[in-house]
Each structure stands twice: as structure tokens, then as C-alpha cells.
Amino acid sequence: MAASSEFDVIICGAGSAGSTVAGMLAADEGLRVLLLEAGPDDVDERVSNPDLWVANLGSERDWGYVTEPGAQIEDRRLFYSMGKGLGGGSSINVGVWSRGHQRDWDDFAIDCADPRWGYRSVLDVYRELETWRGKPDPERRGTSGPLHIQPAQPLHPFFAAMLAGAESVGLEHFDSPNGELAERGSGCAARDEIVEDGLRRSPYRALVAPRRGQRNLTVLTDTLVTKVIFERDRAVGVAAVQQGRSVEFRAAREVVLSLGAVQTPKVLMQSGIGPARHLESVGIGVRADVAAVGANLDDHLLVGCVWEAGMAELPAPARAQAVCFWGTDGRADSPKFVMYSGGSAFMSPEAAARYGVPESAFTFLLGMRLRSRGSVRLASANPASAPVIETGYFDEPDDLRDAVEAYRFVEQIAGTEAMRPYRGSRTVSGAVSDVEIAAYIRTAASTFWHQCGTARMGVDAGSVVDPELRVRDVEGLRVADASVLPRVTSGNTMAPCVVIGHRAAALIRG
């Protein structure tokens, strides 16, 4: 329990964004900062060793959500992992540092009528935060920030072959996915990662852990925030459950929700902020009728495209080392598809049961942006109730058509001469026709763990927060996490969350 229950700013959630907010605010030793986290600490080899990331799935560091049956994915329920613990998703993910493409950020700035969200402004943030250990790129990369970013190294020959295969079918090879490639519509590169001397360096480790000795910073784990406390229409604190007891913490200045794309809208709705009709249906009084809370759930859909292995040695099935971007989501220079790879068979349980799992295989992990959107809703007024999550996968029929087209392109890369030593005699799906490919995709589709969009930022009536991340119709409450993104960025969402946290801290200090 904290020595005091009164603070200036309370940050709920110690993931990538929340850790950035807390670490940057705590730099002002005159500001009393409280960081609350529902999960445990991050002192565990499964966290520090990035090759053990998969051991965290389904553990105490995973919320372990399960979605509602998806009508277009054969009524399957999906295991919907999200990080729970110090570092959040950045403590259990594969460590990819993917900044988002230029078009992502410039369109966010247009959506928000605020140039501070544009690509050139965001580059300044990344340069401030990064210590880049790859090929020098002073226009885009920082050299003295708290976050250690490096290219995946040493590159296994399998990933070099993947990049050579991608280049042979028309994707330009770049030095980094976050340099010039981030300003182009397609290409391939060795990935960037938050790894230093073989150890994970999450935003929590980089920005909060070094300040844990400061008297103005309090970090509490195993503390589940259940709602925001208001006086009139101003947020003045939060209610939480800690070691089975109800506790409250007061905030003199602001409350920041950084709980992720599922827990943030859940807590907003438990606090009476959300669609009025839905709140009334579960017996929660309406404080602010904000219809978009919990709507617009976006993600990269993931399909594991699996091949039997050939004779060449595959990499250990831990972390991908290369990435490809291609296609268009309808906006110029805005890639629709992202692809990683790995040296094992990555399949949904249903696909594994139907198509079988080879003894030795590799997977091209195909991710795609969707037209379809999902939602997060409450099952009841009880904070202990699991949320109701609808992914909406393939509710828009054109998404499935695009997935089939992308699968065909992945087949081209796998079929190149560069990949021949690693490729066995068949694809696991055995699909030949578009109909067969579509059937496999419906069975194999799952999440890429890039959930976002459920507290969308904007200036229109369909937004939840304004360009300064303030929740509509109340005071003293901001959201800083992936839920504010109007749409998923081109790649992984950890790095964009750090930018959001950086912006939130600057706004609060200002």
C-alpha cells in the first residue's frame, strides 16, 4: 500500500504508453506521480529474455481475453492476449520497434486538425527517445535517448533468404523499416527491436525503473483499477482492488488511463462514460453519453502461412528478424500488409486440427489491415466480469478477398529461388484455388495483438478524446494508449504507444 493516497497525477496502466507518461512526469521531482498496474512486476527470465516471449502467453502476465464467436471465421472464439504487468505488452511481445509509416501519422494529424501528430513532429519525438545502434541516419534516428533500438542481429540465413525472395518479387530492400522505408509504400528490411546485450529493454525498464528510488514516484503492482472517481464532472481519483481490498487514490491534477484497447474502454464504461443505451442496459448510471467508447476496435488480422521445411537449417522458433510491407489500404503509400516469419508452424488450434502440423515447418506470418471493425462492451456492471469482445473479422467481404490476394503474394515469396533450400514439398493448407485459400484463411485467422481504436482521437462527434487526449464531456481525465489511434498503424503498435505517452506527458506538464 502507498504511504499516501494523494498524488498530483495518477497513471493507470504500466504498458508502453503508461510507462512513458510516468517516467517523463517523474523527471519533475516536484510532481507526485502514481503508476498503477493490475499485473505483477517484470522480474522474470520470461520477460528479460526476449526469446522466451511465448512462455508469457496464457500466464499471469496475460489478460487472456477470449472473443465472442466470429460469424465469418467459422464461429471460432479467439484467444486475445494482451500484456498485464510492468511493461504491459512490451514485456511479453516479440520486441519489434515499428514506428508507423509517414502516411499513418500525417493522416492522424488531419483527423485531429493538429500538426503535432504529423510525421515530422513525431520524428522529433523518436529522435529524442532513441539511441539507435544501426546504420547512422541523423535525419530520422536519435543517438542519445533512453530507449535502446537496434537492428535484429546477427541475421540468420533464413531471414536473409526471405528478404532476398521478397526483393526478387519486387519489394525494395532497405536498411531499416523505420528509416526511408517508413516514408515509402512498400519494401523489406531486417527488423528493429528493443533488445540490448540479449536482454529486453521495455519502455518500463528504460523510463520508469531508473526512477524507482525517487520519492515523488510511486509504482504499485497487483492493483486493478475499476473506475474513475468524479466530483461533479471532474476526475479526482480512481477506485481499485488491491490484495482483495477496495482502495481509492486521489489525483490533485489529472487521471490518465493507459490500460490498453480493451481495459481502457471497459473502465470508462464502468465509470459511466460510454454509449448511454448500453450503460443503462447493464445498470450503470450515465455520466457522459460518448457513443464511440468501445467502438472502432481495430487490429492487424494474422494468418499463419505454413510450409513444410526443406533441408536447410531453420532458425529457432523465437523471434522474427525480417519484415515486409506491401499493398495499399486505399491511401497512397500506406501499406495494407505486413509480414514476419519464423522457424516453426504457427497455426490456430482449429487450423492445426484440420490441416495437421508438420514435424518441421516454417511460417510466413501475414498481417493485414481491415475495413472491418469490432467492439468492446460490458457483460455487466460487475468490474470482475470479462468484457464482451467482437473482432468483426471479415464482416466486410472485401477483406477476405484481399487476404486471398495477399496469400498469393506470400506464395510467390516462398516459391523464390532464395527460399528453395528452406522449402519442403507442400504448403500445409494444400490450397490451390481461391476458394480453398479462403477456407484456410477463415480457419487460420487470429489476432496479431495490435488492438487499438476503442477510444478514438479526433475532432468529430464520433471521437472519444480530443487532440490533447482529453476525454470528451468531463475534466481532468485523459487517455494515453493505443485505444486513441483512429486506425492501426502499418506495423506493431508499441512504438506509436510510446509517442502517445510522450505527448500526454508534455501536455500534462504544459
Catalogue the active-site residues: 450
User: 522458433: which residue's cell?
Assistant: 317
Query: Among candidates 247, 205, 207, which has minimal Cα distance to 229?
Result: 247
3-state SS string over 211-237? HCCCCCEEEECCEEEEEEEEECCEEEE
User: What is the pairing mode between strands 33-36 and 6-12?
Assistant: parallel
DSSP of 181-215: GGGSS-EEEEPEESEETTEE--HIIIIIGGGTT-T
Q: Where are the beta strands (DSSP E) in 81-186?
A: 130-132, 147-151
Q: Which residues pair with 65 in a beta bridge?
A: 80
Largest CA distance in the chain: 69
SS3 of 242, please?
strand
Angle, CA of 24, 90 and 106, to the nearest 5°: 70
CA distances from 227 to 56, 69, 268 (A): 27, 28, 7
User: What is the pairing mode between strands 446-447 and 477-479?
Assistant: unpaired
- Give Cα 279 distance to the centre of its chain: 27
* C-alpha cell read off for 161: 533468404
* C-alpha cell read off for 243: 490484495
Q: Where are the beta strands (DSSP E) in 221-296?
A: 223-231, 234-242, 245-257, 273-274, 288-289
CB 227 within 8 A of CB 236: no
Which helix (H) or strand (E) element contains residue 77?
A: none
Query: Among candidates 249, 218, 256, which has minimal Cα distance to 509?
Result: 256
78: left (phi over 0), alpha (psi -120 to 50) or beta: beta
Between CA 360 and CA 350 the distance in angstroms is 19
CB 91 within 8 A of CB 221: no
Between CA 19 and CA 217 the distance in angstroms is 12
Between CA 368 and CA 305 the distance in angstroms is 13
In terms of C-beta density within 10 A (0-12 exposed, 13-18 middle, 19 or more buried), how is residue 364 classed? Answer: buried
CB 297 within 8 A of CB 390: yes
